[in-house]
């Protein structure tokens, strides 16, 4: 969507938390691990998007469309995070 197109930061952040959802130019991405980064942060997902210890390390594949939905509270965020970590959270695919 060109309405949310934005440039990268001139000075990258020293640390961006794992799960941060960000935009740079015309792309949206999720930081799979905490790392430096210069993309514009727009949210955070509690879902572990990448885990090299899983049979299929990434829950998405190139070309997938992802729809993020609001989470109602910090408690709900933490609950989804814990479920994601222990493998009991299922991402809804349509």
Sign of the C-alpha dihedral computed for residues 56, 38, 83 and 70 taken in this order = negative
End-to-end Cα spacing for the chain: 21
Q: Under 8 Å CB-to-CB from 14, ≥6 apart: which residues? A: 36
Residue 91 forms part of a structural domain: no
Residue 74 forms part of a structural domain: yes
The pLDDT value given to residue 90: 86
Domains: count for the chain:
1
For range 58-83, the mean pLDDT: 91
Q: What is the pLDDT of residues 15-69, one digit of tens each?
A: 999 999 999 998 889 999 999 999 999 999 999 988 888 888 988 888 888 888 8
Of residues 91 and 83, which shows the higher confidence score? Answer: 83
In this predicted structure, the answer to whether residue 3 has a pLDDT above a threshold of 90 is no
Label residue 31 exposed, middle or buried (CB < 10 Å: 0-12, 13-18, 19+).
buried
Range of the domain at 72: 2-86
Q: What is the CATH number for 45? A: 2.40.100.10
Tell me which residue has tokens 């992802």: 66
Residue 44 forms part of a structural domain: yes
């Amino acid at each position: 969507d060109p309405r949310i197109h934005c440039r990268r930061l001139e000075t990258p952040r020293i640390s961006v938390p794992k799960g941060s959802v960000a935009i740079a130019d015309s792309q949206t991405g999720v930081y799979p691990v905490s790392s430096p980064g210069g993309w514009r942060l727009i949210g955070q997902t509690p879902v572990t998007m990448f885990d090299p210890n899983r049979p299929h390390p990434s829950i998405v594949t190139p070309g997938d469309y992802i729809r993020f939905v609001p989470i109602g509270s910090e408690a709900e965020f933490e609950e989804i995070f814990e479920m994601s970590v222990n493998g009991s959270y299922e991402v809804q695919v349509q």
